Amino acid sequence: MRVDSLRTASGPTISWRAIECWGAGISLFIQAGALLPLMLADADGTLSESAKSILRLPCFPVYAFTIVILLRNFPQFLTALRRNLILPLMLVLPFLSTLWSISPPTSLRRAIGLLFCMLLSYVLAIRFTPRQLLFLLFVTLGACIGLSVVFSVVSPSLASMPDGAMRGVFIHKNVLGWYAALMILVATAVLIDGTLGLRRTAFVLLAAGVICLASSGSMTAIIATSVAYCLIGFYSLLQRSSGIGRVVIVLFFVQLSVGILISLHEFLVPALEALGKDATLTGRVPLWELVDREISDRWLLGYGYQAFWTVANTEATHIWLKIGWPAPHAHNGYRDILLSFGIVGMIPFALMLPYAIRQGAFLHCHDRQYGWLWLNVLTIMIPVMNLTESIFFVQNDAIFILFTTAIIMFSLYAPVVSTSRSPAWQAPARGLMSGLQTS
């Protein structure tokens, strides 16, 4: 018989559900890189090698929690693997890339970190419903954003970059902007959903998210937030429409998106120059030009998983000398996929993402009991962020963990909903809030 609780030495029992909820929340907080990296970083947000070594230590309890929960739910884990075969392929690819990597030890070490992060995504997908995960993120991101506001008042020097921009409890203003954008999305979803009964708290955290977003000055996060609200409107219309009307809405939205992307490609730089703004997008444009040349040299397999941006790589050093600053990545998630895996890695990713978006939209329209809206928005919002930042396939990163969690959830629920409209594959789980209590 399966044991669903643990007994402490003094007698009280702790349910496994409580362990799952607390463990998942703490794991996401750690993987978000809040607080501890700030304490170990220099004033400009730079982490020394010794600080990076210290930051690896909190990841080990997260890895242990992940393995324990997956072993306890191994049949559901196997189901999740079978329902989406592309994602396990993408999980194996970093390890395969060590065969052609320019730095095999680097690729292997980082591939192991990525493996455990994606396994955590499976834990979140099989143990939480979309609405339960929404509440979990509401609490976790709320803690990050709330602490950021408190730090900015109590210790402005610690919570600010050298240029005065707010970074909160994170090491860089852009990271604060990303999580503020996610907080705004989550708080808005809680307000729209209405079933969690947290409207006042949601309004407070929404305001805190807006303050952090504006104070960080992250244009990537501001654009992603704007896109998120457009997507909320689109998915709301999609759910209310049917038949030919739904097709028209989808075609209009796709054409509008393509038109905007083409316009940005053609007219963004001239518009910025005319307005007297930085037409290089803070040095990204010249960086992308140099990166594209390196991609073309090894377009088939790339340089190995995260092996390009290392001091030992002469090509990366050459780029740093030309642009005048040590870029940690390509500032474009799609280019970094090509640098790591070449076209061999980009093809399955390009197949997986549209299919996941289609599954998510189907669930949003046909399975309204679980609240799929915010996960659909998140699945497109993060690829938008990756146009100017690199978040795809980053190990120990909460945003990429959430992105893969959404894809896994879509592939788990969609086949069942299409036949029975009820995700019976998963055993009924107790509500998250009651699970947080110990018995």
pLDDT tens-digit map of 363-419:
999 888 888 999 999 999 999 999 999 999 999 999 999 999 999 999 999 988 876
Single out the residue of 399, 339, 335, 345 nearest to residue 92, CA to CA.
Answer: 345
At residue 242, the pLDDT reads 81
pTM for this prediction: 0.91
3-state secondary structure of 14: strand
| Distance from the Cα of residue 330 to its chain's centroid | 17
Sequence ranges of the domains in the chain: 14-435
Comparing 190 with 278, the larger pLDDT belongs to 190
CB-CB contact of 74 with 126 (8 Å) = no
Distance CA 115, CA 66 (A): 11
CA dihedral sign, ordered 152, 154, 158, 164? positive
**Residue 10, both tokens:** 């003094």
Name the region of 7 (left: φ>0; alpha: ψ -120 to 50; beta: rest): beta
pLDDT tens-digit map of 406-435:
999 999 999 888 765 544 444 434 343 344
Q: Count of residues for the chain?
A: 439
The CA R_g of the chain, rounded to the nearest whole Å, is 22
User: Cα separations (Å) of 36 from 41, 61, 307, 390?
Assistant: 9, 15, 26, 22
Single out the residue of 192, 70, 195, 190 nearest to residue 141, CA to CA.
Answer: 190
**Residue 260, both tokens:** 């905007």
At residue 5, the pLDDT reads 56
Distance CA 325, CA 280 (A): 14
Residue whose token pair is 């998210």: 209
Helices (H), 194-309: 199-216, 219-240, 243-274, 284-297
Q: What value, to the nearest 5°, has the Cα angle with vertex 161 and ends 33 and 209?
A: 60
What is the pLDDT averaged over residues 106-119? 95
CB neighbour burial string for 99-138, b if at least 16 within 10 angstroms, e if fewer: ebbbbeebbbebbebbbbbbbbbbbbbbbbbbbbbbbbbb
pLDDT tens-digit map of 59-73:
999 999 999 999 999
Element (H, E) at 13: strand 13-15
pLDDT tens-digit map of 303-332:
999 999 998 899 999 999 999 988 999 999
Distance CA 48, CA 51 (A): 5
Helices (H), 275-372: 284-297, 314-323, 333-366
Single out the residue of 306, 313, 264 nearest to residue 392, CA to CA.
Answer: 306
Name the region of 245 (left: φ>0; alpha: ψ -120 to 50; beta: rest): alpha
**Residue 12, both tokens:** 């009280």
What is the pLDDT averaged over residues 352-372? 91
The mean-pLDDT minimum among 122-136, 182-196, 207-221, 415-429 falls in 415-429
Helices (H), 97-161: 104-127, 130-154
